[in-house]
Structures are given as structure tokens and as C-alpha cells.
Amino acid sequence: MSVSPDRSPHVSAAEGSSVKPPRHVAFIMDGNGRWATARGLPRTEGHRHGLETLRRVIRHAGKRGIDVITIYSFSSENWSRPETEVSFLMGLLRRFVQRDLSELHEANVRIRIIGSRDDLEPGIAALLQEAEDLTRNNTGLNLVVAFNYGARVEIVRAAKALAQKVLSGEMRPEDITETAFSGALDTGGLPDPDLIIRTSGEMRLSNFLLWQAAYSEFYFCDKHWPDFDEAAFDEALTCFGNRQRRYGGLDAKAL
């Protein structure tokens, strides 16, 4: 895999105009199972093809000048899937880190993992740590991997961490502001997602980035994740470019 260093703004074919990219795009990579089932293949084949899509998306995000992409690769609820599928997904993560880490590092990609590491097999937790440590000082695309992630648990973890600081006298209750709370989340220091893309036609957040999505734009696409290609990504970026974000205020025109 190679993540191209040349960062060109996306020119929308429809309008012939330059589209300002979102700074942070988050992906709910849904539909691997349905993609495989529709082809008479085992669900795991869908995940394998999904990894290929992920590689293309990372490369394309770099080309489009996006700073951060977050991918929902394993939710804290995914443990309830059949054991064979869970262990396939664990193996896929292992292969992704082992095979792609050096190329991602060469392409100046910085990897950050969000989610709980507590219930992970020590070998996997160590690999995730290695990916973060190796790429910590990189300055290109930030790749945030949500693994064993659930937003409600993340929020509870942040609340506990802040409560602990108040208990130890490090903070006063009145110091718990939105900024302090954001900083205590797994995503502390990262910008909130501007755009959240979910493939496969489902229109829900599924416990993904609940706090951070307060002002995100949503884009739902009918394609299953393995079919999500560069053209589909560009379509989402063009759609985002046409949205008006008001953050609860009014358009300048309306004032």
C-alpha cells in the first residue's frame, strides 16, 4: 500500500470547482457481511475485501488533503458475533498492522488507536502499541483506528477519569468544562469529525463517536463497504462541500 504524498484539492466533476476537504472524516465501514453473502461467499471474505477498501481509502484521503480519518473497525458490541468471525477480525487487524505498518510509517501516517485495550489479547494490544509508538512523530495523515470501541463506555471512562482528578484535588468540579471533557475522551487532542460516512444503507451511529459527532455532517451511501471506491469517496466529499454548517447559528445571508 502506498499513501501518496501529493495532496491535491478535489475538483468536482459536476461543478468544475475546487472542493475544500473536510479536516476529519470518520467511517462506519458497514456491509462486509452482506457483500459476501450476496456473492455466496463466507462473511469473512467480505471483511478481507473490506481491508482492501480501507487501504484505498487511506491512500485517497491523503491525496485529498484530509488531516484525520477515523475508522470503526471493531465495536465493543462485535464480541457477540460467532467466535470464528471475531477471531478472523482479530487476525485481520494483526495482518494489517504487520503488513502495512512500515509502508504507513514511510508515508508519514500517524496511527492512533481508540477504544478499550483491557479485554484484548496481549499480543494484539502490543501490536497496537507498536503502531502508535513507531508513528508517533509522523506529521502526515492521522489514521485513528477505533478498535474494541464503544462511545458510551468511552464517555463513562472520561467521566471517571475526571472524577478521579477532582477526588485527588487535581481539579475542581467547576473545571469540568466541555473542553476538559473532550480532552479526557480517547480522542483528546483530535478535531471532531466534520463528516461521518456510513456505507450499506443503514442510517444510525451505532455507538460511534457520540460526543464528537455533535456537529458532524452525515453521509449515507448504499454501497457495501467493499464496493466503496474513490469515486464514491469523492461523491461524499462533493456533497459535504455543498452543505451549509451553521452550528446552531444562522446563515450570514439571514443576518
Binding residues for substrate: 31-35, 43, 47, 75-77, 79, 81, 198, 204-206
Our CB check for ligand FPP shows the closer of 93 and 237 to be 93
Q: Minimum CB separation from ligand FPP for residue 155, in Å?
A: 21
Three-class DSSP category at 70:
strand
Which single residue brings its beta carbon nearest to ligand FPP? 33
Q: Minimum CB separation from ligand FPP for residue 123, in Å?
A: 14
Which residues are tagged catalytic?
A: 30, 78
Query: Which residue type, as a one-letter code, is found at position 144?
Result: V
Our CB check for ligand FPP shows the closer of 78 and 238 to be 78
Q: Minimum CB separation from ligand FPP for residue 195, in Å?
A: 18
Q: Are 216 and 194 in contact (CB under 8 A)?
A: yes
Q: Minimum CB separation from ligand FPP for residue 221, in Å?
A: 14
Helix axes 122-135, 83-106, angle to 10 degrees: 20
Backbone φ and ψ of 55, nearest 5°: -60, -45
Residue 193 DSSP label: P
Our CB check for ligand FPP shows the closer of 127 and 195 to be 127
Q: Which residue has the cell 475526571?
A: 162
How far, in Å, CA of 224 to CA of 201, rounded?
Answer: 8
The β-bridge relationship of strands 18-19 and 10-11 is: antiparallel
Angle ∠(72,6,60) on CA atoms, nearest 5:
30
Q: Minimum CB separation from ligand FPP for residue 63, in Å?
A: 20
Q: Which residues bind ligand FPP (CB under 6 A)?
A: 29-34, 47, 50-51, 54, 73-74, 78, 89, 92-93, 96, 225
Q: Are 225 and 50 in contact (CB under 8 A)?
A: yes
**Binding-site entries for Mg(2+):** 30, 217
Q: What nine digits make up the cell of 191?
A: 478535531
Our CB check for ligand FPP shows the closer of 54 and 127 to be 54
How far, in Å, CA of 67 to CA of 222, rounded?
Answer: 25
Our CB check for ligand FPP shows the closer of 32 and 216 to be 32
Q: What nine digits make up the cell of 45?
A: 471474505
How far, in Å, CA of 183 to CA of 157, rounded?
Answer: 12
Q: Are 196 and 26 in contact (CB under 8 A)?
A: yes
